[in-house]
Amino acid sequence: MKLLSMNEIDGGRYLHRYELIYENRAGKEKHYEIVSRHPISSPEDIGRVSSGISMIVTQKDRMLLLKEFRMAINRSVYNLCAGMLNEGESIEECAKRELFEETGLYVKEIKKILPASYSAVAISDIMTNIVYVEAEGEISNEHASANEEIRAAFYSAEEISAMLETEAFSSRSQLAAYQFCHSFLK
């Protein structure tokens, strides 16, 4: 595969859309659309910048999950606490801010920050860091934006195991929840 050219189609406040024109293995031209959280000035910039974080948050022997309404699918799903990095903000600062904004909880300890990984490689170059957090405090949903419908709660491995059979999850949260239930995160 050979990238021949890249054109910005349009840009919004949070997403920029691009058309990539490739020469495929058969020598034919292929047009492909992607979205990015950041403006891309050249092909070398594709997939180079982390946009945010997803957190796997525990408190003692329980895991935090957010049940949140997601406009893109017009329904509520279980998700990880997550958010976008503000300009100049460190991953640690973002984790503290997002955890508090979405749950009212505080970071007791950041256990691990994984290198950035791609969130949706079929349609986007968006990268996020996974952050493992031990939280402290009590959940309060009064800090969430009016644009977010979030119900945060801690769940035991047994509760999550049952939820995995009947509830809708984002793929990353489903994987983290399954691993938590099977002691991979303990």
Residue 38 within a domain:
yes
Which domain, by its residues, includes 13? Answer: 2-45
Q: Tens digits of per-residue pLDDT, 39-72?
A: 899 988 999 989 999 999 999 999 999 999 998 8
In the chain, the number of structural domains is 2
Q: Are 73 and 149 in the same domain?
A: yes
- Residue 28 Cα distances to 25, 63, 135, angstroms: 7, 49, 52
Q: Are 77 and 95 in the same domain?
A: yes
Q: Are 35 and 114 in the same domain?
A: no
Q: Are 36 and 60 in the same domain?
A: no
Q: Tens digits of per-residue pLDDT, 76-109?
A: 999 999 999 999 999 999 999 999 999 999 999 9
Q: Are 117 and 176 in the same domain?
A: yes
Both tokens of 11, joined, read 């840009």
Residue 165 within a domain:
yes
Q: Where are the alpha helices (DSSP H) in 22-146?
A: 91-103
Contact in structure between 139 and 50 (CB atoms under 8 Å): no
Q: Cα(149)–Cα(154) distance, rounded to whole angstroms? A: 17
Q: Are 82 and 25 in the same domain?
A: no
Q: Cα(105)–Cα(67) distance, rounded to whole angstroms? A: 16
Q: Cα(112)–Cα(95) distance, rounded to whole angstroms? A: 12
Spell out a b/e string for 57-93, using b for 16 or more CB atoms within 10 Å of the CB, else e. bbbeebbbbbbbeeeeeeebbbbbbbbebeeeeebee
Residue 186 within a domain:
no
Q: Are 30 and 105 in the same domain?
A: no
Q: Record the pTM.
A: 0.89
Q: Are 135 and 176 in the same domain?
A: yes
The closest of 60, 69, 62, 61 to 102, measured between CA atoms, is 69
Q: Tens digits of per-residue pLDDT, 19-30?
A: 999 999 999 999
Helix/strand/coil for 158: helix
